[in-house]
Amino acid sequence: MAEKLLEINHAQIYYATLAGYVKAVDNVNFDINEGEIVGLAGESGCGKSTLIKSIYGFIKYPMKAISGEINLLTNGNKLNMLFVEKEELRKVRWKYISYVPQASLHVLNPVTRIKKQFLESVKREHNVKEKEAMDEVKEYLKSLGLPPDVLDSFPHQLSGGMQQRVIIAMATFLKPRIVLADEPTTALDVVVQRGILQMLRDIQKELKNSLIIVSHDMGVHYQITHKIVIMYAGKIAEIGPTDEIFNNPYHPYTRLLINSLPRIGDREQRSGIEGSPPNLLNPPEGCRFNPRCPSKMKICEEKIPEMVEISKGHFVACHLFQKNGKRVKEDAE
């Protein structure tokens, strides 16, 4: 069985505002194993970005970890990334866990050559001479199909796609066990997007680690992930193998979302989901999807549904399913 790399138990991460806490991630549980590409999917404001930032230990006011654990499992040690010391973070970042930010964020320092930035980020725990490190970096870039002379450029001399490829190279150079990618291709052109997604996938295959990718684009998840976590309004609605999520979704939200996606070559009339996601200052009682759900029952307004396993590795949090995985009633159309 594949080794477990990350376990998330009852994670609660809120945002402090003057009007109260925005419950961005509320009681979320799941594990991540070695060798998986996991997609975090959902609409804006569903908490997927908050969650991935927290996994990286990147919790900054007004974001606040309330309770729970996001345990990074490294060589038998547990490190709760929700409440972690800066010193501890420095030890695990880049080496065990690394982060690829949104392409449009321009994280590279515009006045420093790529070479210097690369060495600074990978050298910290790695006491190698500069010359040797440099040769290694060049070798690595070549293996990823990047021209080594990008190292001598300044970030603005490279296109957005090339910058993102350099950042991915930096993030994977020390062979981390977990790579987090937060909307890694948003705002990039589709051709470049495909190239970058392939690159992430190939590196994962090579390192046999796990890749967690956040995207609002279901197509991205369909193309490269093995497993999808569907989030809605700060909670997990459904987790399952990618193909099952697309072909046999259990949660009404997942089903409506998948059905609303237009497909080329198919002009069938499609419709979106009525209403809009709830305000997370005062989320609805019970299941958070109940105000928009076509299969709503009385219990949905009263009780928060628990996660049940329907088939191997396929979980859903919906009152349509009993604890033993049996369906209570048919889903309304």
Partner 1 sequence: MKSKSKKKKIVVSIWDNKRFVVGFTLLMVFIVLGFIISNFSPYDPRSWGTVPEELPPSLKHPLGTTSLGRDVFWFLAEGIKNSLMIGLVAAIVGGAVGVTVGITAGFSGGVIDRILMAITDTFIAVPSLPILILLAFLFKGRASIMVLGLIISIFSWAWPARQVRAMALSLRERDYISMAFFSGEKPYKILFFEIFPHVIPWTIANFINAILVAIGQEATLAVLGLSALEEATLGTGIYWAMQYQAIFRGLWWWIASPVVAMIILFVSLFLTSKGLQEHLASRRS
Partner 2 sequence: MQSSGKLLELKNVSKIFKIGGLILGTELRAVDNVSLSIDSEKPVIVSIVGESGSGKTTLARMILRLIEPSEGQILLNNRDITQLKKADELLEYRKIVQPIFQNPFAAFNNLRRVSSYLYDTAYSICGAKSKEEANKMIAEVLEAVGLSFEKVVGRYPKQFSGGELQRVSVARALMPRPKLLIADEPVSMVDASIRMNIMNLFKTLKDDYNVSCLYITHDLSTAYYVSDFIAIMFRGNIIEYGPSDLVLTQPLHPYTELLMSSIPRVDKKWQEDIKLSGIEVKEYESTGCKFALRCPYTKDICKKSRPKVIKTNDGREVMCFKYEGKKYEEE
Residue numbers of the site for partner 2 (CB under 8 A)? 43-44, 145-147, 158-159, 161-162, 165, 187, 189-198, 216-220, 222-223, 246, 253, 256-258, 260-267, 269-274, 276-277
How far is the C-alpha of 11 from the C-alpha of 9, rounded, in Å? 5
Paired strand residues for 33: 4
Stretch that binds partner 1, among 1-9, 64-72, 263-271, 275-283 (CB under 8 A): 275-283
Stretch that binds partner 1, among 10-18, 163-171, 198-206, 286-294 (CB under 8 A): 10-18
How far is the C-alpha of 231 from the C-alpha of 317, rounded, in Å? 11
Dihedral over alpha carbons 293, 330, 243, 218 (to 10 degrees):
-20
Binds 203: which of partner 1, partner 2, none (CB < 5-8 Å by kind): none
Q: How far is the CB of 44 from partner 1 (least distance, A)?
A: 6
Stretch that binds partner 1, among 12-20, 77-85, 307-315, 322-330 (CB under 8 A): 12-20
Binds 246: which of partner 1, partner 2, none (CB < 5-8 Å by kind): partner 2
Nearest alpha-carbon partner for 42 in 63, 20, 25, 59: 25
| CA distances to 113, 183, 209, 218, 235 from 43, in Å | 36, 12, 27, 10, 12
Q: Which is closer to partner 1, CB of 42 or CB of 240? A: 42
Residue 86 burial (C-beta neighbours within 10 Å; 0-12, 13-18, 19+): exposed
Site for partner 1 in 17-56 (CB under 8 A): 17-19, 22, 24, 44-45
- What DSSP letter does each residue of 265-294 carry, written as one string? TB-------SS-PPPTTSPPSSSTTGGG-T
Q: Angle at the Cα of 229 (from 283 to 333), degrees rounded to 5? A: 70
Q: Which is closer to partner 2, CB of 20 or CB of 219? A: 219
Q: Which is closer to partner 1, CB of 24 or CB of 257? A: 24
State the SS3 of 179-216: EEEECCCCCCCHHHHHHHHHHHHHHHHHHCCEEEEECC
Stretch that binds partner 1, among 120-128, 220-228, 279-287, 298-306 (CB under 8 A): 279-287
Q: How far is the CB of 230 from partner 2 (least distance, A)?
A: 11
CB atoms within 10 A of CB 313: 12
- What DSSP letter does each residue of 304-328 carry, written as one string? PPPEEEEETTEEEE-TTB-TTS-BS
Query: CB under 8 Å to 259, separation ≥6 — which residues?
Result: 270
Q: Using CB under 8 A, which of 279, 311, 326, 328 touches partner 1?
A: 279
Does 283 contact partner 1 by CB under 8 A? no
Q: How far is the CB of 74 from partner 2 (least distance, A)?
A: 32
| Contact track, partner 1, 223-262, x by CB under 8 A | ----------------------------------------
Binds 19: which of partner 1, partner 2, none (CB < 5-8 Å by kind): partner 1
Binds 270: which of partner 1, partner 2, none (CB < 5-8 Å by kind): partner 2
Retrieve residue 168's tokens. 């991915």
Q: How far is the CB of 47 from partner 1 (least distance, A)?
A: 9
**Where does this chain bind partner 1 (CB under 8 A)?**
15, 17-19, 22, 24, 44-45, 277, 279-281
